[in-house]
């Protein structure tokens, strides 16, 4: 069945309905009609099978047939990603959503090619949230990642985010392997981390000053192997490893 998104702030199981954008897609693209069934979700774990009971030009009213709750993932993974050029950030957001990232913090590093004028960053934030919604609709994901506004690494760390384990993908010679760092954490704490940060830099890596800032903030440098990966590949690699190790 087709999936549609209803924001958690508008989620009322007794009176579910699609907003104008989702209604347009349902009626004018998919050609759904009264009596048809679909699935709706709110990005916070709630999902419901529904039947279309009434339609207008700008809305679709729904009757709940069955609902369920998807539990929160075992580990909250935050991807702090240096924004790449072109539409590669859209790809990263899409794949991060599919891989279960809980939050995505787009970073404007010193080597980031993209620069935003006042107000443009918020527009990008909204656009990336739309990308996350579409990815969740396609893959059956009922939890949406929180998309932060673009910010510098310094601003990100000044907010004093709290994590059990903080990592930074690095080309530096002191970088450790993923498995070693994760094993050391489990040995020291007798449990897996519940809240993890992974930083991925731009093409050419973070500057030495940015790497120093990350380390001083508690990040441990990790290697992604002998091959230098493109930034979008590095993000998918890191999230895949963390998902395999921590979300099962």
56 and 119 together in one domain? no
Burial class (CB in 10 A: 0-12, 13-18, 19+), 29: exposed
Q: If you search the block for the tokens 């790449």, which residue do you land on?
A: 84
Task: Report the pLDDT value the prediction gives residue 228, as an integer from 0 to 100.
Answer: 87
Please check whether residues 103 and 48 belong to one and the same domain.
no
Dist CA 226 CA 236 (whole Å): 17
pLDDT at 119: 77
- In the chain, the DSSP E strands lie at 3-5, 17-18, 37-41, 46-55, 60-69, 76-82, 103-107, 146-147, 165-169, 176-177, 195-200, 220-223
pLDDT digits (tens, 9 = 90+) for 138-158: 999 999 999 999 999 999 999
Tell whether pTM > 0.85.
Answer: yes
- Of the candidates 228, 238, 236, 227, the one whose C-alpha atom is nearest the C-alpha of residue 205 is 228
Domain-ending residue, one of 46, 69, 92: 69
Count of the separate structural domains present in the chain? 2
pLDDT for position 111:
81
Same domain (yes/no): 61, 96: no
| Residues 214/238/186/44 CA torsion (nearest 10 deg) | 100
- Token couple for 172: 């530096």
Confidence label for 115 from pLDDT (cuts 50, 70 and 90): confident
Q: In this model, does residue 248 exceed pLDDT 80?
A: no
* 40 and 155 part of one domain: no
Are 36 and 151 within one domain?
A: no
pLDDT > 90: percent of the chain: 82
User: For 22-47, how does the pLDDT look when each residue is reduced to its tens digit (9 = 90+)?
Assistant: 999 999 999 999 999 999 999 999 99
List the CATH number of the domain containing 53.
Answer: 2.40.240.20
């Amino acid at each position: 069945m087709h999936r549609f998104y209803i924001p958690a702030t508008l989620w009322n199981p007794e009176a579910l309905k699609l907003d104008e954008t989702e209604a347009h897609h349902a009626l004018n693209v998919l050609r759904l009609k009264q009596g048809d069934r679909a699935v709706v979700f709110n990005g916070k774990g709630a999902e419901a099978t529904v039947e279309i009971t009434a339609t207008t030009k700008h809305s679709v009213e729904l009757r709940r047939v069955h609902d369920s709750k998807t539990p929160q993932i075992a580990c909250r993974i935050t991807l702090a990603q240096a924004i790449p050029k072109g539409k590669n950030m859209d790809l990263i957001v899409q794949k991060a959503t599919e891989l279960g990232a809980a939050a995505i913090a787009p970073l404007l590093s010193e080597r980031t090619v993209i620069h935003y004028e006042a107000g443009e960053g918020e527009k990008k934030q909204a656009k990336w949230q739309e990308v996350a919604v579409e990815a969740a609709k396609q893959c059956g994901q009922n939890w949406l990642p929180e998309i932060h506004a673009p910010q510098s690494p310094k601003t990100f760390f000044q907010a004093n985010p709290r994590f059990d384990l903080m990592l930074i993908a690095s080309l530096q010679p002191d970088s450790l392997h993923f498995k070693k760092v994760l094993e050391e954490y489990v040995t020291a704490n007798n449990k897996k981390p519940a809240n993890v940060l992974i930083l991925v830099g731009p093409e050419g890596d973070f500057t030495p000053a940015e790497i120093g800032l990350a380390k001083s903030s508690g990040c441990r440098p990790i290697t992604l192997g002998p091959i230098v990966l493109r930034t979008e590949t590095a993000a998918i690699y890191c999230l895949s490893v963390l998902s395999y190790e921590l979300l099962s």
